């Protein structure tokens, strides 16, 4: 395993981080805790989780592993998050996370889900940052962190709004959206912050359709996991890259990719990014931030369906929607949509979601006529 200094914290942390968002069977908490332990035994020391991940089981799973990890005497670091704004809610969520994670202090506690420029100023006015400082003073958290999908200058503005409190940043970046988020990585690094990347595999799009993204692979790459990790870990300013691990096999693939890591030079990074911008920029990474539709439109599954339409054609995509998601009629899935555009406002990739809904609906109707 490779290790590096984690920003200005002085901590030595693994360059591969365990993402606790994609356990293949969250109800099997003991079995999934063994997956976490497997990563720890293979040298991973950074473990990211959050309330609500994996049917609200992720923190519990990681906490079960923590009980065993403590016995080793070796260092490990826990990262979790809160979207709360009020000091009371932040404290309540922090205490809940501490209990579920079986720790007395959370190593990296994130101001979570900053997807619009106004998000942090609103939470700051509500007392969120002061609440985080209080938790740190009470030694309930060690480092104040921030998690974001903002782009370009908005990231630097957000960090300035944080008034120097943030010691690390979690940001969604990969070969698909590098051009949108690279400036944010640099802004954090310039401030001495550690930078952890999420969505390294594009929400599974890259690995599920490796044959469609061959331009990402270099001659020496044996898998898309290796190529995607090499891209992210080669980026100037990136400290650690998360991989959402479903099982032990995912852990092994990620660890082995990092163990043979050879960085790309800047020219190769730009070449890959330019190719992706031209060919693949429109794929939804399934981050899920659009899932809170007030009218309960299944935005995420419809966007996944649109991904499949680009990869395999609309006929296959609509079949997937019918048989995998039990949604045979796109019109019914969309009938409650008011076109309020809330989903587009929170979209981390700024995709034209309503246009895609219209295309899916039109394809469905054309199929009925045909």
For 285-329, the pLDDT digits (tens) are 777 788 789 998 989 889 988 988 888 789 988 987 887 677 889
Mean pLDDT lowest among 72-76, 83-87, 227-231, 292-296: 292-296
pLDDT at position 316 is 86
- The more confidently predicted of residues 140 and 219 is 140
Beta strands in 44-200 (DSSP E): 46-48, 77-82, 106-114, 141-148, 168-172, 194-198
DSSP 199-239: -TTGGGHHHHTGGG-GGG--TT--SHHHHHHHHHHHSTT--
Q: What is the CB-side half-sphere exposure of residue 174 using CA atoms within 13 A?
A: 30
Amino acid 128: pLDDT = 97
- List pLDDT tens digits, range 161-177: 999 999 999 999 998 88
* pLDDT over 90 (residue 194): yes
> How much is the pLDDT for 62?
98
The pLDDT value given to residue 281: 65
* β strands within the chain, DSSP E: 3-5, 12-14, 16-19, 46-48, 77-82, 106-114, 141-148, 168-172, 194-198, 240-244
Q: Are 159 and 165 in contact (CB under 8 A)?
A: no
Q: Which residues pair with 243 in a beta bridge?
A: 18
Is the pLDDT score of 75 beyond 90?
yes
Q: Give the per-residue pLDDT at 370.
A: 61
Residue 88: pLDDT band with limits 50, 70, 90: very high
Neighbours of 64 (CB within 10 A): 20
User: How crowded is residue 12: how many other Cβ atoms within 10 Å of its Cβ?
Assistant: 11
pTM of the full predicted structure?
Answer: 0.81
Spatial distance between the Cα atoms of 370 and 367, rounded to a whole number of angstroms: 5
Strand, helix or coil for residue 143: strand
Q: Return the pLDDT at 209.
A: 81
State yes or no: pLDDT of 279 exceeds 80. Answer: no
CA distances from 327 to 285, 319, 365 (A): 21, 9, 14
What whole-number distance in Å separates Cα of residue 167 and Cα of residue 161? 13
pLDDT (tens digit, 9 = 90+) per residue, 218-247?
Answer: 877 778 999 999 999 999 999 999 999 999
Give me the DSSP letters along 308-369.
HHHHH-HHHHHHHHHHTS----HHHHHTT-----HHHHH-TT---HHHHHHHHHHHHHHHHH
CB 34 within 8 A of CB 18: no
> Which residues does 106 contact at the CB level (< 8 Å), separation at least 6?
78, 79, 80, 94, 97, 98, 140, 141, 142
Provide the pLDDT for residue 64. Answer: 98
Closest CA to 301 of 289, 286, 319: 286
Inter-residue contact 247 to 272 (CB < 8 Å): no
Domains and CATH numbers, the chain: 3-279 (3.20.20.100), 299-369 (no CATH)
pLDDT for the residue 280? 66
């Amino acid at each position: 395993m490779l290790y590096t200094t984690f920003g200005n914290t002085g901590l030595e942390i693994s360059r591969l981080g365990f993402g606790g968002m994609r356990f293949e069977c969250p109800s099997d908490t003991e079995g999934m805790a063994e997956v976490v332990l497997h990563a720890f035994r293979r040298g991973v020391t950074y473990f990211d989780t959050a309330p609500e991940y994996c049917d609200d089981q992720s923190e519990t799973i990681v906490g079960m592993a923590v009980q065993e990890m403590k016995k080793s005497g070796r260092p490990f670091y826990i990262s979790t998050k809160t979207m709360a704004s009020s000091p009371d809610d932040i404290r309540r969520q922090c205490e809940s996370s501490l209990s579920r994670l079986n720790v007395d202090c959370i190593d990296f506690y994130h101001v979570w889900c900053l997807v619009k420029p106004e998000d942090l100023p609103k939470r700051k006015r509500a007392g969120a940052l002061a609440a985080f400082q209080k938790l740190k003073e009470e030694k309930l958290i060690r480092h104040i962190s921030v998690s974001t999908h903002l782009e370009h200058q908005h990231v630097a503005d957000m960090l300035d709004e944080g008034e120097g409190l943030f010691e690390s940043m979690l940001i969604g970046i990969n070969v698909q959206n590098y051009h949108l988020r690279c400036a944010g990585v640099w802004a954090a690094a310039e401030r001495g912050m550690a930078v952890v990347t999420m969505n390294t595999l594009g929400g599974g799009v890259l690995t599920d359709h490796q044959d469609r993204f061959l331009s990402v692979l270099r001659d020496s790459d044996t898998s898309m996991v290796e190529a995607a990790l090499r891209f992210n870990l080669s980026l100037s300013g990136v400290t650690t890259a998360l991989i959402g691990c479903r099982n032990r096999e995912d852990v092994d693939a990620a660890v082995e990719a990092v163990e043979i890591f050879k960085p790309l030079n800047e020219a190769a990074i730009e070449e890959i990014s330019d190719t992706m911008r031209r060919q693949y920029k429109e794929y939804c990474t399934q981050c899920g931030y659009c899932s809170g539709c007030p009218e309960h439109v299944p935005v995420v599954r419809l966007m996944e369906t649109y991904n499949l339409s680009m990869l395999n054609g609309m006929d296959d995509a609509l079949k997937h929607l019918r048989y995998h998601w039990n949604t045979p009629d796109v019109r019914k899935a969309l009938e409650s949509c008011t076109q309020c555009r809330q989903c587009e406002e929170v979209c981390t990739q700024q995709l034209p979601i309503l246009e895609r809904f219209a295309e899916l609906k039109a394809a469905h109707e054309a199929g009925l006529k045909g």
